């Protein structure tokens, strides 16, 4: 990690989101010059805890709590202007200096009120098959982008063009509402008026994110690309259609900020020591009833964006191995190990069966994934407090054994282990386990 000076490191979620990307990015940001988001929008909720204070970031990269780090939102993100301005105001009110520290790609697409309206309406119309979206307008905003009917940040420089796009989009959205027999409507003139009010402060943030990163790397800078959501929510590689609408995996990082894939030196995959999912969709290692309740309360598993209870389950080695491959992970950061401290016995899925037959791969169909049964391996719990561990050797032997099993299943080396919410509750795992490298 930035040991030899310059470099570009992507940090991606390897499960269904909420792996602790915010915490890991914050830890790594200490040595970064730029942190950039490359996809997603305010559907993300990244929690960073510093000196007892908790910050939940939705659009602003998790490097913002280190003064001097430049934080960028790339062309691959979708940005709701009002959510961003509110998030900025919230940080300023808590004493975080944002002066010249934030930049937003002029190529990023805007999330506008009709996207939120459509998100809610489309979910309602899906009935029992609903995805369980965050309701932040993400799917409809990306749909407009791909459909070539979206509004980009840079379009605000030309109010006439912006008005055309917004009027056409509102008319299409209102038609959809009528077809769905729903009452909500959006008034294009209201949207335009509201946009006009935020236009100056918004355009002030506009920049060429790709150019900034390329220049930064050329000058010896250290860049972190912060993924949102998780690999199993990726639009292509996730459990479609129960996914988000962007490329969450490392392949999307280069395209999402505007650099070449050869410029990314490392890809760190963040995994929880167990699994959670929020929203609907298949989840083979999901725990039932009381067991789920125990893990949920120990891990405080409630959504950082919507407050919804997350669905907890055991670590799924099949899913993580698949995601590790799709991302080309060079290393793993395992989080929330401490949440498992009180368990007498743990389980990890080491394979799946489908109709009693072993299945050699991670299914490409959500319907098939719904029907697989995990093959579990039982591992003894360590039943010791790990929250004070700061070196690999401080961890109980059984905890190290558990982590080594996760590492084997993932097929990527563990580089970081997180044992609590706080910034200092982190273990840097060197190539030879016993010799930690100073973080
Ligand atoms: P993200 O979306 O991947 O950034 O993850 P979230 O912030 O949504 O959820 C992760 C939650 O776990 C947050 O509340 C973090 O503060 C918390 N967390 C992160 N790492 C650890 C850890 O090692 N131990 C514990 N107990 N909590 C952690
Ligand atoms: P972070 O970055 C967990 C889930 C939603 C839903 C699906 C689609 O904090 O890890 P969307 O609103 O994106 O159209 O919803 O994706 N989802 C997340 N789950 N963490 C997230 O972000 C998520 N962002 C979206 O619950 O199932
Ligand atoms: Mg989250």
pLDDT tens for residues 211-235? 999 999 999 999 999 999 999 999 9
Q: Write down the CATH superfamily of domain 109-203.
A: Adenylosuccinate Synthetase, subunit A, domain 2 (1.10.300.10)
User: Using omega within 30 degrees of 0 as the cis cutoff, is the peptide bond preceding 241 cis?
Assistant: yes
- Residue 304: φ, ψ to 5°: -75, -15
What whole-number distance in Å separates Cα of residue 109 and Cα of residue 152? Answer: 4
* Confidence (pLDDT) at 304: 85
Q: State the distance from the centre of ligand 1 to the C-alpha of 277, rounded, in angstroms.
A: 13
Determine whether 18 is an active site residue: yes
Cβ proximity of 369 and 284 under 8 Å: yes
Tens digits of residue pLDDT in 91-137: 999 999 999 999 999 999 999 999 999 999 999 999 889 999 999 99
| pLDDT tens digits for range 162-172 | 999 999 999 99
Task: Give the atom of ligand 2 at the shortest distance from the alpha carbon of 246.
Answer: 13
Q: Whose CA is nearest to atom 25 of ligand 2?
A: 43
pLDDT of residue 437: 43
User: Do strands 275-277 and 311-313 pair parallel, antiparallel, or not at all (unpaired)?
Assistant: antiparallel
Indicate if the pLDDT at residue 434 is higher than 60. Answer: no
CATH 3.90.950.20, domain 7-105+216-268, yes or no: no
- Cβ contact 55:79 at 8 Å: no
The CA 229 to ligand 2 mean position distance, Å, reads 6
pLDDT digits (tens, 9 = 90+) for 301-328: 999 888 999 999 999 999 999 999 999 9
Q: DSSP string spanning 191-246?
A: HHHHHHHHHHHHHTTEE-HHHHHHHHHHTT-EEEEE--S-GGG-TTTSSTTSS-SS
Average pLDDT over residues 76-85: 98
Sequence ranges of the domains in the chain? 7-105+216-268, 109-203, 271-433
361-408: per-residue pLDDT in tens? 999 999 999 999 999 999 999 999 999 999 999 999 999 999 999 999
Query: What share of the chain in percent tops pLDDT 70?
Result: 97
Ligand 2, residue 40: give the atom nearest the CA.
Answer: 13
pLDDT at residue 430 above 90? no
CB-CB contact of 344 with 383 (8 Å): yes
Q: Is 158 a catalytic residue?
A: no
Binding site membership of 339 for ligand 1 (Cβ less than 6 Å)? yes
CATH class of 271-433: alpha beta
Quote the ligand 2 centre to 136 CA distance (angstroms).
10
Give the ligand 2 atom nearest the CA of 308.
26
Question: Is residue 49 lining ligand 1, measured as CB closer than 6 Å?
Answer: yes
Q: What is the mean pLDDT of the chain?
A: 96
Q: Quick check: 3 pLDDT over 90?
A: no
Ligand lying nearest the CA atom of residue 17: 2
- 210 C-beta closer than 6 A to ligand 2: no
Alpha carbon distance 65, 30 (integer Å): 9
Intrachain domains 109-203 and 271-433 with the same fold:
no
Ligand 1 atom 12: residue of nearest CA: 20
Q: Does ligand 1 come within 6 angstroms of the Cβ of 20? A: yes
421 lines ligand 1 (CB under 6 A): yes
Q: Is 398 helix (H, G, I), strand (E, B) or coil?
A: helix
CA distance 249 to 262: 15
70 CA distance to ligand 3 middle (Å): 22
DSSP classification of residue 302: B
Indicate whether residue 13 lines ligand 1 (CB < 6 A).
Answer: yes
Q: Which of 388, 269, 258, 309 is nearest to 24 (CA)?
A: 269
Does the CB atom of residue 46 touch ligand 2 within 6 A?
A: yes
């Amino acid at each position: 990690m930035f040991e030899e000076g310059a470099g570009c490191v992507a940090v991606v979620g390897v499960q269904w989101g909420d792996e602790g990307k915010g915490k890991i990015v914050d830890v790594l940001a200490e040595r970064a010059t730029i942190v950039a988001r490359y996809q997603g929008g305010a559907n993300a909720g990244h929690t960073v805890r510093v000196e007892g204070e908790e910050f939940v970031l939705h659009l602003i990269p998790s490097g913002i709590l280190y003064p001097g780090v430049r934080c960028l939102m790339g062309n691959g993100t979708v940005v709701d202007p009002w959510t961003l301005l509110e998030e900025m105001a919230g940080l300023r009110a808590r004493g975080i200096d944002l002066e010249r520290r934030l930049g937003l790609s002029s190529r990023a697409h805007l999330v506008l009120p009709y996207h939120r309206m459509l998100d809610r309406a489309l979910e309602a119309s899906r009935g029992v098959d609903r995805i369980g979206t965050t309701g932040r307008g993400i799917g409809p905003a990306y749909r407009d982008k791909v459909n070539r009917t979206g509004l980009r940040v840079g379009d605000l420089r030309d109010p006439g063009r912006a008005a055309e796009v917004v009027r056409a989009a509102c008319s299409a959205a209102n038609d959809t509402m009528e077809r769905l027999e729903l009452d909500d409507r959006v008034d294009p003139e209201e949207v335009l008026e509201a946009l006009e009010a935020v236009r100056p402060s918004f355009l002030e943030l506009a920049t060429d994110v790709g150019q900034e990163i390329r220049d930064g790397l050329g000058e010896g800078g250290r860049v972190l690309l912060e993924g949102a959501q998780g690999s199993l929510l990726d639009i292509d590689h996730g459990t479609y259609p129960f996914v988000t609408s962007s490329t969450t995996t490392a392949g999307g990082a280069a395209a999402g900020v505007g650099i070449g894939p050869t410029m990314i030196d490392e890809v760190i995959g963040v995994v929880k020591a167990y699994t959670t999912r929020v929203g609907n969709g298949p989840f083979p290692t999901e725990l039932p009833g009381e067991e789920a309740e125990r893990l949920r309360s120990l891990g405080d598993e409630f959504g950082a964006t919507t407050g919804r209870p997350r669905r907890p389950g055991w670590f799924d080695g099949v899913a993580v191995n698949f995601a590790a491959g799709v991302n080309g992970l060079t290393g793993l950061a395992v989080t929330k190990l401490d949440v498992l401290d009180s368990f007498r016995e743990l389980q990890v899925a080491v394979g799946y069966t489908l109709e009693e037959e072993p299945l050699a791969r991670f299914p490409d169909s959500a319907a098939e994934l719904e029907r697989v049964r995990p093959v579990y391996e039982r591992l003894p719990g360590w039943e010791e407090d790990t929250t004070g561990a700061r070196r690999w050797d401080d961890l109980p032997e059984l905890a190290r054994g558990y982590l080594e099993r996760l590492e084997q299943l993932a097929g990527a080396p563990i580089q970081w282990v997180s044992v609590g919410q706080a910034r200092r509750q982190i273990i840097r795992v060197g190539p030879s386990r016993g010799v930690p490298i100073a973080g």
